[in-house]
Amino acid sequence: MTYRADVLIIGAGASGGVAARHLAEHGFDVVCLEQGDWPDRSAFPGARPDWELAIRKDWAMSPNVRNRPEDYPVVHDDSDIEPLMYNAVGGSMIIYAGTWPRMLPSDFRVRTMDGVADDWPIAHSDLVPYYNAIDQQIGVSGLAGDPAYPPHDDYPLPPLPLGAAGRRVAEGHNRLGWHWWPEPNAILSAPYDGRRPCVQRGVCTSGCAEGAKASTDLTHWPKATAAGARLITGARVSRITIDPRGLATGAVWLDRSGVEHHQEADVVILAANAIGTARLLLLSADDRHCPDGLANSSGLVGRRLMMHPFSVVTGWWDDQVEGWQGHFGASITSYQFYETDPDREFVRGAKWALSPVGGPLNHILPMRAGNEVWGRDHHELMGRTFGRGASWAIFGEDLPEEPNRVDLDPVRTDSHGIPAPRVSYRISDHSRRLMAFQEARAEESLRASGCRETAVASMIPYSGWHLMGTARMGNDSASSVVNSRQQAHDVPNLYIADASVFVTSSGVNPTCTITALALRTADLLVQHRSEQKVPA
Amino acid sequence: MTTPTSPAPTADIDIHRLTALADVMLPAAHGMPAVSEVKAVESYLPQVLGWRKDLHQPLVRAVDALDPSLFSIDRLSALHEEDEDAYVALTTAVAACYYLSPVVRELIGYPGQAAKTYDPFAYTEWVAEGLLDPVVDRGPIWREVPG
């Protein structure tokens, strides 16, 4: 007899973990299929001498560079930004920086406020209860009262250390009269919920061996499975199945040996990131019901991909600040140039986050700002800069454009022979103006903070951590894929919990909002369970 | 996923030739030793190639392609144009070997990515000191939205 779950979740990352825990704790029978495995923290490279070598290969953020069995290739020959992700329980939270900013009220109303893109069908106030709840679940370190935000609940933990660099830049901004605030981070500053605090090793983006940085393998999955959720790893989904009424019935998946299985469910939740989710919807095309892809009557599945153009501006002081150390994560943030100013040649803005700059290899083989110098001058450069710098990491708001998209590559496949996603993406002229302005201001910031020299790495290609927008939310089924509950217009028992549903990108790191939206979606599913249409 | 930690055999790489190339890339200067002075290649190359097996063959190509007696930094740039993988393998391997040397780490003041302890409530001191006061005093900077 075939086993049918109440809910099938595809993907065990940020949104999948949050949804699974909430649903399981509210009595739902949950099954999750995850193509990766449980992360093995003893294999994380941050405390090892080969750390800076590992992050260029086995621990690269690009699945194409890592090329592990659980990764699928992402074709990006026609993209200005390389998509980055991690496939495991915990998802890309394993390699994210851990900064935890909320979106702002204006982020949900960019059409109304600034005349561009579209408004969201929900408001910032709709998410506030979920932001507050997620902060407690995750264990966020921060300081309430930031005047860049509406007042909200205090964070559960005190802010992480400013560090020498953070302190200097804070003082510099005070001299300029510019905003700064200690960055909220999903990184523990003190013991919390059985987890240990951050030790300031500065290796967050290659996995936190301490378990101080939140990821759902730590914060949600143990509680979800304790509540009865079943998590199947090494399970690669090839398509979502539908019945003659157009309702989702489950998903076909392949185990590590390539053996095909079918998991039935009353409700399917996609939580596979904005590339993986779009890929699966397109792979689930059916000649009779949805020839252009599942839930795609609007034609928008895969379109409006947003990735946040990303620049780094590094400054160097005359003396040591132990610039390789800290949390990564960010010590301080600035929203001075976040909101629209009509005197500028662009609308919207960017968020800045001050971060460490890595060890010696990152100085001489820079992945961000800096120069590769050999010969006698190498030692002069190292003496002048090593340990003396900090970087503003700048995320600019990326406005949605339909030509920026994910579709299926006609040739390349993953290791199971399933067509790979293909990304076509161009940084717009608007984004280029926005980022040029921000880069120049960031150099001013660092000089005002006492830096002797600065360097700009403008719109770095290797920066596509923030994947958003490929199945947008909206009230009109002709111009959106899911409604405000993140329920597919075309398939009423199919939900999308990840950042595919973002209408616009904001200018902040998205994981905080992804998890708040996932919690809201799961919560509304609980509230409306008696009305939920399910297959016969 | 594990990273191999056992040293890799390097019999197919001419260590003397690679060290000579590395000494041009990282010579003795500004108070820092040359690669050969700290025996960086002979001491650490097997370990580096154990960690990064993907570098091995491109490094062999780089060493074969470059004549130490004619080698200069300009030739390094040409290698970048001719064979980028070989260039990346050479620069990565040489830099990794050099900066694994305890002598070099001591000279640049780098202890590795060390764990540190701190007082999570130390922030109360800089808050009390007034570091945030100018930011707070300027008032809200977020925009109210209609509806």
Predicted confidence (pLDDT) per residue in A209-228, tens digit: 999 999 999 999 999 999 99
Compute and round to an integer the Cα radius of gyration of chain A. 22
A 10 A CB-CB count for B36 gives: 17
Q: Which two tokens stand for residue B145?
A: 């939205």
How many H helices and E strands in chain A?
Answer: 13, 16
> Is the CB of A147 less than 8 angstroms away from the CB of B140?
yes
DSSP state of A115: S
> Is the CB of B144 less than 8 angstroms away from the CB of A171?
no
Residue A152's pLDDT is 94
Complex confidence, ipTM: 0.94
Q: Is residue A78 part of a domain?
A: no
Candidates A57, A113, A335; nearest CB to B52: A57
For residue A159, give the 3-state DSSP assignment. coil
Omega within 30 of 0 (cis) for the link into A276: no
Q: Which two tokens stand for residue A256?
A: 């590590």
Which residue range is the domain that position B103 belongs to? Answer: 15-108
Residue A274's pLDDT is 98
Q: Which residue of B has its CA nearest to A336?
A: B141
Euclidean distance between CA atoms A356 and A183, whole angstroms:
14
One-letter amino acid at A72 equals Y
DSSP labels, A41-104: GGG--TTSTTHHHHTTTTT-S-HHHH--TT----EEEEESS-B----BTTGGGGTS--B-PPPP
Euclidean distance between CA atoms A297 and A224, whole angstroms:
34
| Nearest chain A CA: its distance from B135 CA (Å) | 6
Residues in contact with A532: Cβ distance below 8 Å, sequence separation at least 6, in sequence order: A266, A267, A492, A493, A525
Sign of the Cα torsion A526, A529, A535, A536 reads: positive
Candidates A123, A181, A203; nearest CB to B135: A181
> Is the CB of B95 less than 8 angstroms away from the CB of A364?
yes
Name the pairing type of β-strands A310-316 and A332-334: unpaired
Which chain A residues contact residue B108 at CB under 8 A?
360, 382-383, 386-387
For residue A14, give the 3-state DSSP assignment. helix
> Is the CB of A124 less than 8 angstroms away from the CB of B145?
yes
Euclidean distance between CA atoms B34 and B20, whole angstroms:
10
Instruction: Report helix, strand and coil shares of chain A as percent, to nearest 5.
Output: 25, 25, 50
| Cα-based torsion angle of the residue sequence A191, A196, A197, A200 in order, rounded to the nearest 10 degrees | 170
Name the pairing type of β-strands A30-34 and A494-496: unpaired
Name the pairing type of β-strands A75-79 and A419-425: parallel
| CATH number of the domain encompassing residue A362 | 3.50.50.60
Q: Is residue A490 part of a domain?
A: yes
Q: Does B110 touch chain A (CB under 8 A)?
A: yes
Whether residue A491 contacts residue A295, with contact meaning beta carbons closer than 8 Å, is answered with yes
Place of tokens 């007034």: B130
Structural domain total, chain B: 1
Euclidean distance between CA atoms B48 and A48, whole angstroms:
12
Residue count of chain A, please give it. 536
Please give the sequence-ordered ranges of beta strands (E in DSSP) within A317-361, or none if there are none: 332-334, 350-355
A21 alpha carbon, distance to own chain's centre: 19
Q: Is residue A79 part of a domain?
A: no
Which chain A residues contact residue B27 at CB under 8 A?
375-376
Which chain B residues contact residue A256 at CB under 8 A?
none
Whether residue A474 contacts residue A117, with contact meaning beta carbons closer than 8 Å, is answered with no
Structural domain total, chain A: 1
Please give the sequence-ordered ranges of beta strands (E in DSSP) within chain B, or none if there are none: none
Q: Is residue B120 part of a domain?
A: no
| Nearest chain A CA: its distance from B103 CA (Å) | 14
Euclidean distance between CA atoms A522 and A43, whole angstroms:
33
Euclidean distance between CA atoms A528 and A412, whole angstroms:
41
Q: What's the whole-number mean pLDDT along residues B78-104?
A: 96
Euclidean distance between CA atoms A31 and A294, whole angstroms:
21
A 10 A CB-CB count for A390 gives: 28
Euclidean distance between CA atoms A128 and A92, whole angstroms:
24
Residue A1's pLDDT is 57
Euclidean distance between CA atoms A90 and A285, whole angstroms:
28
Residues in contact with A281: Cβ distance below 8 Å, sequence separation at least 6, in sequence order: A240, A270, A293, A294, A295, A296, A301, A302, A471
Euclidean distance between CA atoms B122 and A452, whole angstroms:
29
Q: Is residue A414 part of a domain?
A: yes
User: What sections of A255-374 are H helices per DSSP?
Assistant: 273-283, 360-364
| Cα-based torsion angle of the residue sequence B31, B35, B38, B42 in order, rounded to the nearest 10 degrees | 170
Q: Is residue A492 part of a domain?
A: yes
Whether residue B85 contacts residue B58, with contact meaning beta carbons closer than 8 Å, is answered with yes
Whether residue A147 contacts residue B135, with contact meaning beta carbons closer than 8 Å, is answered with yes
Name the pairing type of β-strands A494-496 and A260-270: parallel
Which chain B residues contact residue A174 at CB under 8 A?
131, 134-135
Nearest to A306 by CA among A479, A519, A79: A79
DSSP labels, A402-428: TTSEEEEEEEEE-TTSPEEEEEEE---
Tens of each residue's pLDDT in chain A, 536 residues: 579 999 999 999 999 999 999 999 999 999 999 999 999 999 999 999 999 999 999 999 999 999 999 999 999 999 999 999 999 999 999 999 999 999 999 999 999 999 999 999 999 999 999 999 999 999 999 999 999 999 999 999 999 999 999 999 999 999 999 999 999 999 999 999 999 999 999 999 999 999 999 999 999 999 999 999 999 999 999 999 999 999 999 999 999 999 999 999 999 999 999 999 999 999 999 988 899 999 999 999 999 999 999 999 999 999 999 999 999 889 999 999 999 999 999 999 999 999 999 999 988 887 665 678 999 999 999 999 999 999 999 999 999 999 999 999 999 999 999 999 999 999 999 999 999 999 999 999 999 999 999 999 999 999 999 999 999 999 999 999 999 999 999 999 999 999 999 999 999 999 999 999 999 999 999 999 999 999 99
Whether residue A510 contacts residue A468, with contact meaning beta carbons closer than 8 Å, is answered with yes
Q: Is residue B138 part of a domain?
A: no
Is residue B4 predicted with pLDDT exceeding 60? Answer: no
| Nearest chain B CA: its distance from A279 CA (Å) | 25
Q: Is residue A536 part of a domain?
A: no
Q: Give the model confidence (pLDDT) of B20-63 as tens digits.
A: 999 999 999 999 999 999 999 999 999 999 999 999 999 999 99
Q: Give the model confidence (pLDDT) of A133-192 as tens digits.
A: 999 999 999 999 999 999 999 999 999 999 999 999 999 999 999 999 999 999 999 999
Which residue range is the domain that position A388 belongs to? Answer: 4-46+53-72+84-531
Q: Which two tokens stand for residue A520?
A: 């809201």
Give the phi and the psi of residue B27 in degrees, each rounded to 5: -80, 175
Residues in contact with A431: Cβ distance below 8 Å, sequence separation at least 6, in sequence order: A309, A396, A398, A399, A459
Q: Which two tokens stand for residue A236?
A: 């690669």
Greatest C-alpha distance within chain A: 75
**For chain B, what is the mean pLDDT?**
94
Give the phi and the psi of residue A488 in degrees, each rounded to 5: -60, 130
Which chain A residues contact residue B30 at CB under 8 A?
376, 379-380, 383
| Nearest chain A CA: its distance from B35 CA (Å) | 11
Q: Is residue B73 part of a domain?
A: yes
Name the pairing type of β-strands A4-10 and A260-270: parallel
Candidates A147, A359, A382; nearest CB to B141: A147
Residue B2's pLDDT is 44
> Is the CB of B110 less than 8 angstroms away from the CB of A360?
yes
For residue A424, give the 3-state DSSP assignment. strand
Euclidean distance between CA atoms A80 and A423, whole angstroms:
10
> Is the CB of B73 less than 8 angstroms away from the CB of A199?
no
Nearest to A138 by CA among A89, A103, A92, A99: A99
Whether residue A491 contacts residue A534, with contact meaning beta carbons closer than 8 Å, is answered with no
Sign of the Cα torsion A10, A15, A16, A22 reads: negative
Q: Is residue B123 part of a domain?
A: no
